[in-house]
Amino acid sequence: MYKLIRPVLFNLDPETAHHLTLQLVRLAGILPPSRWLLESMFPAPEKQVEAFGLRFKNPVGLAAGYDKDGVALNGLAALGFGHLEIGTVTPRPQPGNPKPRVFRLVDDEAVINRMGFPGKGAGYMAEKLKGWKANRPAGQASLIVGVNLGKNKDTPLEEAANDYISLMRTFSPLADYLAINISSPNTAGLRRLQGREMLESLLGQVSAARAGSPCPILVKIAPDLTDDELDDALGVIQSSGMDGVIATNTTLGREGLGSRHRAESGGLSGRPLRGLSEAVLSKVVKRLGGKIPVIGVGGIMSPADAKRKLDLGARLVQVYTGMIYAGPGLVKDIVNKIGRP
């Protein structure tokens, strides 16, 4: 069915198409008959995985960025995911970067985005999460929901910890896990927080503010770090007591692209990211030595891509751009075709 719909969506501006599909999924999730229809179209068998002290019904999740405000949880849950990561959320609402800011690279099966964390802010998302938890269908009780956290654009880097701590306090009681996003290329200076000195300060303050909260905290890293930078970041993540790593975010690299939008600024996702994300994942898994779990994300366009990440040592995987090109059926295809991790 998606093969019939995709040409229509691809004739729309990418951000318009995204908004349309998100709203359709949201509406489909509201009414039991339409939600049941989605569940019957995209069934995924249980292949349970344990990570971060949580039990996931299968290892496939939705990466952050698709549902930035947490508005479509019921509908997205019907697509077979084992977990959903919503956000990136910032403490205060912000519009993000000027449009156009999303570009399809169809020949490369890729997307470039420079969204810049647009969203309605922490208060709005918190209300959405509270409402979902209070009224979610019984069949969604086992769904794991994570929240991806980011700083506001106008918050100085030196004060970034205040934003992350504020978000942590808001969402720790509501989410199953939190992800600290310091690796988006679309907020000026954000990736500098991955450097040893700034990361030690940030995660040290976050760790001190946890106050024994059981909510796991993960850190999402960029694929563009040098080996020394990666070693520094992983060392700080471990020493500060974080619970996991998400590898990786989008890349600033443009090697081998053929599409006309290849020169657009922003983060590149999709098939061209696959090799780089796998290389970084392999290094991360080796460096961590099984001490904390890793989520593999980036360039998963097929079940074989997901299996490769699991074989490299990822405990879970996440998809996003692959769904744009393959459709929502990608989730059940992955779960059906991978073995039990």
What is the token pair recorded at 212? 């024994």
Given 184, 240, 269, 277, the catalytic residue: 184
129, pLDDT greater than 60: yes
Picking from 141, 94, 146, the residue whose alpha carbon sits closest to that of residue 122 is 94
Vertex 40 angle, CA 35 and 42, to 5°: 95
| Cβ atoms within 10 Å, residue 341 | 18
Q: Is the pLDDT of residue 341 over 80?
A: no
- 83-89 and 144-149: which strand pairing? parallel
Whether residue 173 is preceded by a cis peptide bond, meaning omega within 30 degrees of 0, is: no
Average the pLDDT over 205-210 and give the result: 97
| Mean pLDDT of the chain, nearest integer | 97
Give dist(CA 203, CA 220) in Å, integer.
Answer: 12
Whether 341 contacts 49, CB under 8 Å? yes
The answer to whether the CB of 141 falls within 8 A of the CB of 152 is no
- Residue 53 backbone dihedrals phi, psi, to 5 degrees: 80, 10
Cross-strand partners of 2: none
Instruction: Give the closest residue to 198 by CA, choosing from 161, 170, 241, 251.
Output: 161
Domain count of the fold of the chain? 1
Residue 95, Cβ density class (10 Å: 0-12 exposed, 13-18 middle, ≥19 buried): exposed
Q: Is the dihedral of CA 264, 270, 275, 278 positive or negative?
A: positive
- Which CATH number characterizes residue 132's domain? 3.20.20.70
Q: Domain containing 322: what range? A: 2-337
What is the model's pLDDT at position 211?
A: 86
d(CA 24, CA 16): 12
* Distance from C-alpha of 327 to C-alpha of 4, rounded to nearest angstrom: 11
Residue bearing tokens 């780089």 = 276
CB-count exposure of residue 329 (10 Å: 0-12, 13-18, 19+): middle
pLDDT digits (tens, 9 = 90+) for 16-56: 999 999 999 999 999 999 999 999 999 999 999 999 999 99
CB 267 within 8 A of CB 251: yes
pLDDT on residue 340: 52
As to burial, measured by CB atoms within 10 angstroms (0-12 exposed, 13-18 middle, 19+ buried), residue 138 is exposed
For the segment 271-288, the average pLDDT, to the nearest whole number, is 98
Whether residue 148 contacts residue 109, with contact meaning beta carbons closer than 8 Å, is answered with no
Helix or strand or coil: residue 86? strand
Give the number of other CB atoms < 10 A from CB of residue 239: 12
For residue 88, whether the previous peptide bond is cis, meaning omega lies within 30 degrees of 0, is yes
Residue 113: phi, psi to the nearest 5? -130, 145
Give SS3 for 174: coil
Q: 300-330: per-residue pLDDT in tens?
A: 999 999 999 999 999 999 999 999 999 999 9
- Catalytic annotation on 34? no
What is the pTM (predicted TM-score) of this model?
A: 0.97
Cβ–Cβ < 8 Å for 291, 264: no
Is the pLDDT assigned to residue 136 strictly greater than 70? yes
At 241-270, the pLDDT tens digits run 999 999 999 999 999 999 999 999 999 999
Q: What is the pLDDT of residue 1?
A: 80
